[in-house]
Structure 1
Amino acid sequence: MLNFVTTNPGKVREATAYLDDAVEQFDFDYPEIQADDLAAVAAHGARSAYRAADGPVVVDDAGLFVDAFDGFPGPYSSYVEDTVGVERVWRMTEPESDRSAAFKTVLAYCDGDPLSTDRVHEGGDDEPPVALFEGRVDGTIVAPRGDGGFGFDPIFEHDGATFAEMSTDEKNAVSHRGRALESFAGWYADR
């Protein structure tokens, strides 16, 4: 059984679509480091959660990367949403000629065993290895639209609709997390 480390049951439902019933929610508030790299944040969280769960864990970290702002807010997306807000991020982006952006997720897997993969994020000498899987979906920042989703979904448009305008199934079919989960599921099945 894989422990998906999250307080969000929606993430677990999405993971179950890729990993069948091999996933259960593990509600653990791991210490999140501040870093400019999603992989470093996810790997640190996976190592911490692995020690707490005493078994295999999956942790993800995600963010909105706005091209006009050199990828900001990126790993700081949750903080920016809480402090600046979705509407103000739109207003800051609106005058830019290039409003392209991407949602990215890095999924980190840790089970304490040596990993034979090129996806390994090495820790220190006494740190367990972590396998990393990235998902990305490209889009455009637009004026807020839609009532669904969460976070920056109302201002992120992909193929003509914002994530907030999509049903959960439509969003999951193209989501950055789903793409990372698909990559992980294939690798995990071969282990």
Structure 2
Amino acid sequence: MKTIIFVTSNKGKTQEVKKILKGLRVSVKPIDLREAKHFTHEQLVRKKAKDAFKIVGKPVVIEDTGLFVEGFKNYPGLRSREVIEKIGLKKFARKCGGHRAFFRTIAAYCDGNRLVLFKGICQGKIAKAVFQRKIPHLPFLGVFVPKGESKPVAAFSKKELEKFLVETNHRAKAFRKFEKWFSRSRGKRH
């Protein structure tokens, strides 16, 4: 079984990605990569992937996820963690509740020669109130209502939550694309 080095300092993402990529062995390097301001999402991911490769010295996979609320021009976008730390989830829900939103994950594989991006999007809306059940390391799930659902992800049953995290959300979509690509290109210098 091929080992993939996933670089992240987020424990929630680590658990999620290991479940998504169950056909691969995932080795985690808990490195907090600096996030430069004023980059597009793709530019940021490219920079983080190159930085991770330089630090680790072996092929790596990284990802970056942003939550984008329609009508708020890229808010909170790439500053999602910063916004939650600054204003909290309740204020965020009051400000953005009822608006359509989407999560976008861009995963990147970098081996020093190739840098390949994989995108996943999950459409939905922001709830007007925070569902109190907390999902560790994934705070926005207390207010994000996926398209076709009537409640925030944090209100899902354990089975529904597992399906969302491993099969249907933005991160799952991006990493499934990566896994498919990686499996096809396995013999090409990894």
Q: Which residue of the partner structure matches residue 3 of structure 1?
A: 5
| 1:161 aligned counterpart, secondary structure | coil
Q: Deviations over 1:106-126 (max 9, x none)?
A: 11110112x4xxxxxxxxxxx
- Partner residue in 1 for 2:168: 174
Is contact 2:131-2:154 (8 Å) kept? yes
State whether residues 146 and 162 of structure 1, in contact with CA within 8 Å, keep that contact through their aligned partners in structure 2: no
Q: Decide whether aligned partners of structure 1 residues 82 and 10 sit closer, same or farther in structure 2, where only a CA change above 3 A counts.
A: closer
Instruction: Please say if 1:160 is aligned against 2:150.
Output: yes
Residue 10 (structure 2) pairs with residue 24 (structure 1):
no
* 1:33 corresponding residue in structure 2: 36
Report if the CA contact (8 A) 1:6-1:26 is conserved: yes
Aligned to 1:118: none
The 3 A distance-change label for structure 1 pair 35 and 59 is farther
Task: Provide the TM-score with structure 2 as the length reference.
Answer: 0.83
Matching of residue 190 in structure 1 with residue 171 in structure 2: no
Partner Cα separation in structure 1 for residue 90 and residue 96 of structure 2: 10
Matches within 5 A, 1:1-191: 1-19=3-21, 20-94=23-97, 99-113=99-113, 115=114, 130-142=115-127, 143-149=129-135, 150-158=138-146, 159-166=149-156, 167=158, 168-172=161-165, 173-191=167-185
Matched residues, number? 173
Q: Relative to structure 1, is the Cα distance of residues 92 and 36 closer, same or farther in structure 2, using a 3 angstrom cutoff?
A: farther
Show the counterpart of 1:119: none
Per-residue deviation, residues 156-176 of structure 1 (Å, max 9, x unmatched): 111122121233413312211
Per mean C-alpha deviation after superposition, the further-off stretch among 24-33 and 160-169 is 160-169
Q: How many angstroms apart in 2 are the aligned matches of 1:69 and 1:8?
A: 26
Structure 1: gaps (5+ residues): 116-129
Counterpart code for 2:83: V
**Runs (5+) with no aligned partner, structure 2:** 186-190
How far, CA to CA, are the matches of 1:9 and 1:86 in structure 2?
Answer: 19
TM-score w.r.t. length of structure 1: 0.83
Q: Identity over aligned residues, as a percent?
A: 29
- In the alignment, the residues of structure 1 paired with residue 25 and residue 67 of structure 2 have an alpha-carbon distance, to the nearest angstrom, of 29
